[in-house]
A and B are shown apart, each in its own frame.
Chain A
Amino acid sequence: MSDTTNLGEWIGNNSVRTIRAQTVTLDGALVGKHLSPKKFESGAQSGWGFADIALAVDLGNTAQLGFDFGDWRGEMHDVFLRPDLTTLSTDASLPGLATVMCDLVDQHGAPLPVCSRSTLARVVKELAELGFTGKAAVEIEATVFEESIEQAREQRFTNLHPLGGTQGAIYLLSRSRDYTTLMDAMAARIERAGIPWEGWADESAHGQIEVNLPPTDILTAADWYVRTKQIMREVAYEHGRTITFMARWSPDQFGQGAHINLSLQQDGRNAFFDEVEPSRPSETMRNFIGGVLDTMAAASSFQYPTVNSYRRIAEFDGPPTTVTWGVDNKSAAVRAVCTTEKLSRVEYRVPSADVNIYLSMASFLAGGLIGLRDHSDPGLDAPSWPGDCRREPRSCQPASLERSRN
């Protein structure tokens, strides 16, 4: 649905009793309101009042009034949740409920400068002005625990037991019984919410799972990421389990990322694919990667948003710690996949699982956009495996919390 013309009919046909209007805070937390059909219809064009304090409290519920009082806050009046009606959908698992993703706008209908979703949409639009559209998929990593959320809260999230035990390694089907019931339920819920899924697997760390969704347009990929995380949480809780998307919940376990896979299309073709030399990046891909590398250190603030994010980026632990790229090289920050037109893409391996995915993608794309405009060069082609990977110690990412201050 893209306009309000048949909204009442759509609500009636789908027996909707409640609409959940949702967006994210700067911390990436999904927030929203539950609306009656009447209220929903009345604000479908202008939006609904939303206290701006949602953007001005931290995850500990403390107001962050000391450092900034942006112009957008005015006199602390309401801001507005304006629905993107193209995202209106029902969830067959929750009869009567519909959800819609929203942007945050001011009383005049202008997007708030601190609206994460609008910021990503704006960068996508700038890419379109250069003649590119994007397809993206974000890898979702989480850890599931045997305890219920109530039990986990009581234990203050300590001494929890990862699902599947604390022995064994990645992909082991010997513990599939531990996972299958829960993951079948998650996959079914994801599907019934209108989000296609490609696969799930037991990952490297104990209790860790990865869920893969197919590539789609960039804004939808971000919407699917936050909606799928919410579904995974709800299903885990319903099954008496606990789940976390922390970047690293224990020093004894690998961390959790949110790798972004992206291709750009131009004139109906994959612009990252080089027809002449399919095993090498196209000029467009090189320019894009060049810009991403040039801005990587600065953008790392969006990729490592919390204190905990920095615990994930340890040398030789998997996540990249340097400004590097390579062809099909998973030790680099940017992995260029150059095979066929269908598969050629850039995998941005920097983001941790606790990112605000809209700002993570926006800053990644912004770097690529700058590279395309400036015809940036990423430097030497980095062949397949370490050693040759481009490393620039003088322009490393801030690989520790301490260094992130500078």
Chain B
Amino acid sequence: MSGDVNLTEVLGRELVEYWIGTRRWEWLQFFTTGGDPAAGVSDWELERYFEHV
């Protein structure tokens, strides 16, 4: 996403930059709580997403 100039131009730089920040944050939260992409759905994912996405 961060490397796509055209999409950023249409969607808006501030939105894209902020969005990327939130996604990196999400990734960081997953890994710092012991998340493992190769393992099954984690308790962390269920607690975080089940009710609110």
Contacts and interface: CB of A to CB of B under 8 A. Distances in A.
Asked if A and B bind, the verdict is yes
Interface of A: 26-29, 58-60, 62, 64, 66-68, 70-72, 113-114, 119, 122-123, 126, 149, 152-153, 156-158, 244-251, 294-295, 297-302, 305-308, 310-311, 353-354, 359, 362-363, 366-367, 369-370, 400-402, 404-405
Interface in B1-40: 1, 3-4, 6-7, 10-15, 17-27, 29-30, 35, 37, 40
Given A158-B43, A250-B41, A251-B41, A359 B50 contact: no
Contacts of A248: 41
21 contacts: A26-B18, A27-B52, A29-B52, A58-B29, A62-B29, A71-B14, A113-B13, A122-B12, A153-B51, A244-B53, A246-B45, A249-B50, A251-B40, A298-B3, A306-B49, A307-B26, A354-B49, A354-B53, A369-B10, A400-B37, A404-B27
Contacts of A354: 49, 53
A27 B10 contact: no
B14 to A, nearest CB: 4
Contact of A307 (B7, B20, B40, B45): B45
A55 B19 CA distance: 11
Contacts of A363: 7, 11
A72 B14 contact: yes
B53 A298 contact: no
B29 A366 contact: no
Given A114-B19, A157-B47, A244-B49, 7 more contacts: A58-B22, A64-B21, A153-B51, A294-B6, A306-B26, A307-B26, A405-B27
Query: How extensive is the interface on chain B, given as a class?
Result: 35 or more
A316 B53 CA distance: 25
B19 A366 contact: no
B53 A29 contact: yes
Nearest first, the 4 A-B pairs at minimum CB distance are A298-B4, A113-B14, A354-B53, A366-B10
A244 B35 contact: no
Contacts of A300: 1
Residue with the highest number of chain A CB atoms closer than 10 Å, among B6, B37, B43: B6
A289 to B, nearest CB: 16
A366 B9 CA distance: 9
Nearest to A120: B11
Contacts, number: 143
A197 B5 CA distance: 38
A297 B18 CA distance: 18
Residue with the highest number of chain B CB atoms closer than 10 Å, among A156, A157, A370: A157
A157 B24 CA distance: 25
Contact of B26 (A58, A70, A122, A123): A58
A157 B46 contact: yes
B46 A158 contact: yes
Contacts of B6: 294-295, 370
A60 B48 contact: yes
Nearest to A295: B7
A223 to B, nearest CB: 18
Contacts of B51: 149, 152-153, 157, 244
A66 B25 contact: yes
B48 A59 contact: yes
A379 B3 CA distance: 23
Given A250-B41, A307-B35, A113 B50 contact: no
Nearest to A68: B21
Nearest to B8: A298
Nearest to A153: B51
Contacts of B27: 307, 401, 404-405
Contact of B45 (A122, A308, A366): A308
A113 B51 CA distance: 27
Contacts of B53: 27-29, 59, 244-247, 306, 308, 353-354
B50 A67 contact: no
Nearest to B50: A157
Contacts of A64: 21-22, 25
Contacts of A404: 27
Residue with the highest number of chain B CB atoms closer than 10 Å, among A70, A72, A308, A366: A308
Given A158-B46, A249-B41, A306-B49, A126 B10 contact: yes
Residue with the highest number of chain A CB atoms closer than 10 Å, among B6, B19, B40, B49: B49
